[in-house]
Structure 1
Amino acid sequence: MTLVRNHRLPLSGNKYKLLILSVVFWAAACSPKTQPIVNKPQPSVTPPAAKPAEKPVATTPVKAAKPAPQKVSGIAMLLPFNLDNLNQGGKYSKADLQKANMAVEYYQGFKLALDSLTSNGYNYRLQLLDSKDQPAEARNLSLNPKLYNNDLIVGPIFPDGIKAFNSTNTGITKKPVLSPLSPASPSGFHSPLLITAIPPLDYHAKRAAQYVYERLKAKKVFVLKSGFSVDNNYLTPFKQQLDSLSKQHVKLIPLTVVRGDLKPLLPQLSKTEDNVFVLPSTNQAFLQVTLRALDTLAKAYPVVLIGHPSWEKLTFLRADALQRLKTVITSSDHVNYKSGSMIGFIKAYRKAYHLEPSEFSIKGFDEGFYFGELLAQSETGTLKPETLDFEGLHNKFHFVKKPTTGWVNTHVYILKYTNFELKAIE
């Protein structure tokens, strides 16, 4: 792919406020771009000999055919810039500033992707609106007639905003709406045109169950429960998938662990084959005690541990213990910073914005490139994500469409702790 240099970012003053202010000006810069038409010179021809004059013949004038207008794909972005805080007397709270900065970083990556695609002759009209991270504002935006001429709506970012935006029965709901950063389950939004780019927890649990059945070939699985009902958000789809794949031949053995006591499981453990444990909790106190007990158990019994996808960002977990437990987790993000495409993206991003790209910038670039190309190549402007898989910088896109929940990206990676860090194995 070819990356096109973007407009430079001024560096004086408050960095974050300038970033947010610059959004307004950059939006205008993303105007439709056209390729020049080149007229080839005609070869010189020797004129024929003059003929006797003839009477002119009346002819019907023929109008020159108008060139077909170039297609322009319209995209509207509803992001929480909270620009009202820039007014006199206004002030960003820490939380609002984090959300605004995230919105700017995502936008920068998305726009860089569209600029890259224009080198292929594609044209885009990008419209920015401030969702303010307020459900009431998201509902008002869904009634905004300015959105009707767009082919894709990107945002709002957070679940409450997505739900509010899709709650109104207006014409805008007939447009596809991309949920760009939230892994919230689309079942709670009841929108057949919602596109969920970040795989929800259900698909992590199902992928883990597939790994347990197909790769580990486990005959029984020990489930270590914290006693909190939130564990079921992971365990329910995990069990459903495992039962479906094994036709209920793999036995799940649950244990609610109290103060790290794993002794009730000892009679059922094997000393020769891997004992597969699933630990769906993210509670710090419970995890620290239970993982310590499991680490002790692993000295006498071979253990393979399946963890929650959120563990990737839990800083209190010890990589050495997780490696001894042969821990495997799923993830919707896996960035190879040594790949040529990633190195090229970082260089282009630095040139455009004089900043390092964040995870939101990377996701914005992937989604901008994927959906920008889908829109440009669609003759009718209708999106069909289920027809095209894509390998981006942070994840692959494999969308499945369901009548009531729209499109959902189902691809997640399998990561394993190796050399004290997580590495993709599938």
Structure 2
Amino acid sequence: MKQLLFVLAFVATGLFASSQGAVKKYRVGIFASLYLDSTFTGSTYKFTNQMPKHILPGLDFVQGALMAVDSVNSNQPLEVMVYDLRSADQSLDKLRSRNTFDSLDLMIGSVSGAEYRTLADLALLKNIPFVSATFPNDGGVTNNPFTIIVNSTLPAHCEAIYNFIMRSNPTANLVYVRRKGTQEDRLASYFAKYNKGSNGSTLLKWKTLNLNDNFTQTDLIPHLDSLKTNVLICGSLDEAFGLNLVNVAQKIYKTYPMELVGMPTWDGMKDLTKPEYKDLSLFYTATFFNTGTVAATNFTKGFTDLTNGRPSDVAYRGYELTRFFIQLLLRYNTQLMQHLNERTYRSFTEFDFRPVLNSTSGKPDYFENKRIYILKRSNNLVSRMN
């Protein structure tokens, strides 16, 4: 991985390109936080024994992206620039002052917060498709048909969870377990919205329990049914609260048959792999699921050969999104946004990009990936349910 850093120290200020004659050259900007300024003194790497964890997500994303560029088999001129947003010379303000965005045809970013919003605003201003690869939030973007959100927002996850319960277990004893909090209020409002029929009626019936962080089985048991399946929905993103729900369920599941449905935060909870939870049925959502396809296996090997490390989910995302959108650009040019659901160039993940329409203008606020996987963890295995 240290060798990759030396390569990126050059790439982030140079270009990764192929060019031919005077025909159109397609230009792509890849934006991530690489922290090269704080990692090197001149050309000397600062960290001899250990690589700081905070630089790994950006490195993984860019390594995947560069592998994707290398895999694109096209005779069309292509220039790909990697921008380190933590570099003093490559902040978005500096790039904008140099008119960098005037020449770009596509932007792909592993960014969040203010940097996400700035790139989205520039995408609208310059009519450049902007692929937000990792930020699960719309950031307040409206009326922006050039912003593409890949890592689906929380409302989309809640809608997927609701639809899954409606399809799989609508007559179960449904118990919505939450804690007090503004975020929890927002989650509850999403589920309430999806649970309204066209005539205003309530479609699914569930009990809502508003519990403290240290609740026990005594708080749950009065609301459970020993003669039918109990579906416990965790209405909080707080990992400690969710893990406590799993702990309590583990103590009583033999008496009260149950399934637990968690938020997307459960996808990264390592505690769920503990052996004491293996007999529970745990469901949660994710926008990425490595199915072990030939393409995924080949990428894993290639990444490991280059970096001596295993790729994270962010590396897979960097690869598949860069490869997918660059090939869309090369094929469709300015019509790229009309072909977001082209299946030809997909690598690992299924996408379903749909416009999220503005309630006032009726125009797209942005395009969002609505393909959300329902995953089940049981017996230490994770399987896809849809």
- TM-score bucket of the superposed structures, by smaller chain: 0.7 to 0.9
Aligned pairs (5 A) from 1:340-351: 340-351=294-305
**In the alignment, is residue 286 of structure 1 matched against residue 241 of structure 2?**
yes
Unaligned runs of 5+ in 2: 357-362
SS of 1:316's partner is: helix
Aligned pairs (5 A) from 1:246-325: 247-258=201-212, 259-261=214-216, 263=218, 266=221, 269-317=224-272, 319-325=274-280
Unaligned runs of 5+ in 1: 1-10, 35-68
**In the alignment, is residue 116 of structure 1 matched against residue 71 of structure 2?**
yes
Q: 1:292 to 1:176 in 2, by over 3 A?
A: same
Aligned partner of 2:378 in structure 1 is 418
**In the alignment, is residue 363 of structure 1 matched against residue 317 of structure 2?**
yes
- Name the CA distance, whole Å, in 1 between partners of 2:339 and 2:4: 34
| Cα shift at 1:401 | 1.7
CA RMSD of the aligned region, Å?
3.5
**Cα shift readout 1:298-346 (whole Å, capped 9, x = no counterpart):** 2222211111111121223354454433211111121123x21122223
Aligned pairs (5 A) from 1:23-422: 23-24=11-12, 28-32=15-19, 70-85=23-38, 86-87=40-41, 97-117=52-72, 119-132=73-86, 137-155=91-109, 157-167=111-121, 171-172=125-126, 174-188=127-141, 191-218=144-171, 221-244=174-197, 247-258=201-212, 259-261=214-216, 263=218, 266=221, 269-317=224-272, 319-337=274-292, 339-351=293-305, 355-380=309-334, 382-389=336-343, 392-402=346-356, 403-422=363-382
Sequence identity (%): 16
Aligned partner of 2:6 in structure 1 is 18
SS of 2:231's partner is: strand
* Count of aligned positions: 374
- Name the CA distance, whole Å, in 1 between partners of 2:177 and 2:303: 44
Aligned partner of 1:316: which letter? Answer: D
- Name the CA distance, whole Å, in 2 between partners of 1:274 and 1:170: 49
**Bigger-Rg structure (1/2):** 1
SS of 1:30's partner is: strand
| Cα shift at 1:177 | 1.6
SS of 1:373's partner is: helix
**Cα shift readout 1:374-405 (whole Å, capped 9, x = no counterpart):** 10111545433444257855532111123353
Q: 1:390 to 1:228 in 2, by over 3 A?
A: farther
Q: 1:125 to 1:381 in 2, by over 3 A?
A: farther
| Cα shift at 1:143 | 4.4
Native 8 Å contact 1:106 1:362 kept in 2:
yes
What TM-score do the two structures reach when normalised by structure 2? 0.82
| Cα shift at 1:23 | 2.6
Native 8 Å contact 2:225 2:256 kept in 1:
yes
- Name the CA distance, whole Å, in 1 between partners of 2:364 and 2:77: 32
What TM-score do the two structures reach when normalised by structure 1? 0.75
Native 8 Å contact 1:282 1:310 kept in 2:
yes
